[in-house]
Amino acid sequence: MTDNNTLRFYEENAVDYARSTSGRSMDDVLVRFTKLVVSGGSVIDLGCGSGRDLSAMLGLGFRPVGLDLSRQLAVIAAKASACPVVVGDMTQAPFADCSFDAAWASASLLHLRPNELPLALAEVARILKPPGVFFSSVKAGQGSHRDTDGRLFSYYEEDEWRDRIESAGFAVLELRTGRRDRTRLGNDGWISCIAKRKGFSKEERK
């Protein structure tokens, strides 16, 4: 479960936070991701924030659903995107097994402590239909740190993120790390990963 200080930040600053992130473009990776998703498929956006990516996916003809722990952000995202948005925790996703064709987790899994991550990834695997497509992005680096807003972030190196995703039953299709700029506080570079859920057969679990 995401810690209280992090959640408090999103609850208390939802309007400003949504405004500050709604214009950020995820277009490049969104296009690469959606190319792998069955046309018109269902996509769960885990930690959907402002609803920016829900709107983009809806515009591309998919059926996106948002999940966010922050009630305030969920209201904003639902209004902005006209998509269904559920308030809930991705470590206990309130959805039945095999509910979605794809999952999108942009900058959200990084708010879990590393020991909570397997729980969330197991939930992603559970709610995806094989061969569900899964996008995740986290900050590149080491350890867990609070930013000046009090939000807790957990950082990963690229190989570590690959191991985490593969250990949860996914095959990694693409793994990229953006450039870090260590001269600017908080500009750590992003690891982005597109993976595919392995099936239930012995052959696919290899």
Ligand X SMILES: C[S@@+](CC[C@H](N)C(=O)[O-])C[C@H]1O[C@@H](n2cnc3c(N)ncnc32)[C@H](O)[C@@H]1O
**Residues found near ligand X in the complex (CB under 6 A):** 2, 10, 21, 47-49, 52, 67-70, 73, 89-91, 106-108, 111
Q: How far is the CB of 168 from ligand X (least distance, A)?
A: 16
Q: Which is nearer to ligand X, 57 or 165 (CB)?
A: 57
Q: How far is the CB of 201 from ligand X (least distance, A)?
A: 31
Q: Which is nearer to ligand X, 128 or 198 (CB)?
A: 128
Residue type, 121: L
Backbone angles phi and psi of 163, in degrees to 5: -60, -45
Q: How far is the CB of 48 from ligand X (least distance, A)?
A: 6
Q: Which is nearer to ligand X, 56 or 131 (CB)?
A: 56
Q: Which is nearer to ligand X, 34 or 70 (CB)?
A: 70
Q: Are the C-beta atoms of residues 64 and 33 closer than 8 Å to each other?
A: no
Q: How far is the CB of 202 from ligand X (least distance, A)?
A: 32
Closest CA to 52 of 64, 40, 38: 64
Q: How far is the CB of 52 from ligand X (least distance, A)?
A: 6
* Residue given tokens 């350890």 in the structure block: 143
Q: Which is nearer to ligand X, 111 or 197 (CB)?
A: 111
Q: How far is the CB of 162 from ligand X (least distance, A)?
A: 21
Q: Which is nearer to ligand X, 52 or 164 (CB)?
A: 52
